[in-house]
Chain A
């Protein structure tokens, strides 16, 4: 069996028992990328020499008896995470040639832990999308069916993990961008509680919603990576003063007596019947294992997509103002200062990014601010309150992660509203900052379906523990 078949936890065990070396593991994954990625298109940059140097360093750590569970384990990084000295493009022309002078905190933590970076992965430009089709470098293909999208925006990370080019990857999740591609690629994706992972060095899209998180082929692997990147960081003022995500209870959960809530708004018309059936049958199996399941109503969910597509673009229109061609990235000359900035931005941002900047600028402009932005923030408050109320009665909320399975490339790219409606199930966790995970729960039309589990603020450990128990129940 090839080493690329193994999970991060298995690789870690083999490294520590000296059955295999870190450079050997790095090489087989680089070979897998060389062999497969022309077809998949998961990676935007791979620098084998840097990867092997990191692997040799990891092996030295292991030889000295140092390091932890990710020492020597390959990790792919979404290309909106700053990596010192190596290209960080956000899949945009406006960052062509840019090499950050610093590492994102999550990246620095992994580097210090001896993880081995195998490359930077494709995404929708600035993480704005649901299909990885908005990348200026072209779409990533879903390993389950190369004519279909891997989802997005962390589609490159999800496809890389799914296709065994790396056991683990980091993504970022603003409205579902870790969980939805994990669902469409049949892997696990976890968005921690807002603030448990530092956002420092993640190129900002919507700062009140963005969160970095792991993708892996099972819950334990995703949890290992979440543990490694979490913890308080003074360089991010929204970082929670909490300790690292604790994995000591990961395998100690039981389904018996667990109270699960299934909001009817996420099982309704918007949900494809095959997906609904698959998720309901998974929920039935959890019930058979002793979990209590109740149908509930969270009415504000129906307004989530609108709320998100006001708040996220509003924040993006402000965050992306920094891309002006003056301090980094290419500069296109125009008339005077304003003309130069406008020419650079007008030519080098892609269509979807410009569309969101336009929506956000409009929603924040005089005369519309109250009707759109303030109103959306009130809906956000109501949605958060509805979820918090539910968490008073239930342990977690379960639903489909995506209302559809992987869709054909090109099918929805001409229909921005239809594409945005696909974020229905994942948006609330970002609005309220709740921890949320997607794990595979079966197939519909031969393609993977994701089950989403959402918990209360700071319930990361509990969500991971429940997901671990659910994964075992569904496998058994």
Chain B
């Protein structure tokens, strides 16, 4: 199998990565090399095994419903590149 440049561009869009044309080419080569190598796992018999998402599987972890102080607004905003009136200022998401 081989991944086309269009597919690389599509993946970059999904991943929200604005890449230069030469980077797209480099990632195309790298993805093809790695994913080619990754075919090896098709050879191992895993028919008896359910997919395992976690190292140590815990179930139903609940916390007590206790009110605790959270991060205060000033601390939460301190690292923001742009703020206004005590809020994060972000680019327009939905146009008028």
Contacts and interface: CB of A to CB of B under 8 A. Distances in A.
Contacts of B49: 378-379, 381-382, 385
A205 interface: no
Contacts of B35: 359, 362, 372
A328 B79 contact: yes
Contacts of B31: 358-359, 362
B17 A377 contact: no
B86 interface: no
Contacts of A302: 40
Contact of B18 (A306, A345, A382, A416): A345
A357 interface: yes
Interface in B26-62: 26-27, 30-31, 33-35, 37-38, 40-42, 44, 46, 48-56, 58, 61
Interface string B46-83: 10111111111010010100000001000110111110
Nearest to B28: A358
Contacts, number: 169
A432 B16 contact: no
B55 A433 contact: yes
Contacts of A338: 16
Nearest to A374: B51
Interface stretch (A3-11, A27-35, A155-163, A233-241): A233-241
A330 B92 contact: no
A324 interface: yes
A377 B52 contact: yes
A346 B27 CA distance: 13
* Interface majority SS (helix, strand, loop, mixed), chain A: helix
Nearest to B10: A365
A321 B52 CA distance: 23
Nearest to B77: A327
Contacts of A208: 53-55
* Interface majority SS (helix, strand, loop, mixed), chain B: loop
Interface stretch (A95-103, A109-117, A255-263): A95-103
Nearest to A331: B81
A465 interface: no
Interface residues of A, number: 75
A457 B56 contact: yes
A409 B55 CA distance: 33
A333 B19 CA distance: 15
Contacts of A432: 55
Contact of A193 (B42, B56, B79, B88): B56
A377 B44 contact: no
A341 B18 CA distance: 9
Contacts of A381: 46, 49-52
Contact of A365 (B14, B23, B56, B58): B14
Given A101-B71, A327-B80, A306 B53 contact: no
Contacts of A18: none
A379 B46 contact: yes
Contacts of B54: 208, 238, 433
Nearest to B48: A382
B8 interface: yes
B34 A359 contact: yes
Contact of B91 (A299, A303, A330, A336): A336
B17 A346 contact: yes
B11 interface: yes
A20 to B, nearest CB: 37
Interface of B: 3, 7-8, 11-20, 23, 26-27, 30-31, 33-35, 37-38, 40-42, 44, 46, 48-56, 58, 61, 63, 71, 75-76, 78-82, 88, 90-93
9 contacts: A97-B79, A300-B44, A303-B41, A327-B79, A329-B81, A331-B82, A346-B18, A377-B52, A379-B44
Given A342-B16, A357-B17, A381-B50, 16 more contacts: A194-B56, A237-B61, A306-B37, A307-B41, A325-B81, A326-B81, A345-B15, A354-B19, A358-B12, A362-B7, A362-B31, A371-B42, A378-B52, A379-B46, A417-B33, A432-B55
